[in-house]
Amino acid sequence: MEKRRCHFCFGTKKYPVSEKSLLYHDTRWCKPEHRDGELFAMLVLEGMQAGVSWELILNKEENFRKAFDGFDPRIVASYDEKKVEALMQDKGIIRNRSKIWAAIANARAFLKVQEEFGSFDAFLWGFTGGKVIDHHLADGAEMPAKDALSEKISADLRRRGFKFAGPTIVYSYMQGVGMINDHAEYCDFR
C-alpha cells in the first residue's frame, strides 16, 4: 500500500515534485533537529529560499554545502569580500549578494548565541520548552505562513543581528527543524 503524504507532495503536471522533495518531506521536514551544525545549515538555506522555490534550494543543497564550507558557522563568519566575490561566481548556488552577506552576518550572530546559551539548540528550542508544537492540521489549507511564535523568534533573532529572519522565513525554519509539526493528520510521515 502506498504511503499517504501531505497535499503539497502531489505537485502538478507543470511542476512535478522531485524525489529530493519527497525524501525531504519524508525524513527531514517537521522532524526535530538539535545539532547546531544542521540548525545553522537550515537557517542559511531558509534565508536563501526567500523568493524562490524550496525545490530549487533542495536541488542546490549539496552545492550550498560545498560552497559554504559544510555550513561551519566559524568558517562562514570569517568570509570576506574576496570570498563573497567567489561565491557570486558559483553557478551551483543562489548568487544573491544580499543573501550571501546575510549568511555571513547570521554565522557571526549564531556564534554569539552559542556563546551566550551554550548552544544554538538551547536558545532556539527554549522558545518551545524543548517540545514540538503539533498543529494537527486536517490539510494544508490550515497551515499558516507565520504565527505569533515565529514573530517572537523573528524579533529576537533580528535584535541579535540575524538577517533574512522575518516571521514567514522563521515559521518555515521552525517546520524545517521540527519545532513545528505541520504534517497533515492523514500523512503517514507525521
Catalytic residue IDs = 24, 46, 54
Using a 10 angstrom Cβ sphere, with 0-12 exposed, 13-18 middle and 19 or more buried, the burial of residue 3 is exposed
Cell of 86: 567567489
40 touches 120 (CB < 8 A): yes
Q: How far apart are CA 48 and CA 54, in angstroms?
A: 9
CA dist 8 and 73 (Å) reads 32
Question: C-alpha angle 42/34/20, rounded to 5°?
Answer: 45
Cα 109 versus chain centre, distance: 16
In sequence order, the 6+-apart residues with CB closer than 8 A to the CB of 139 are: 7, 184, 186
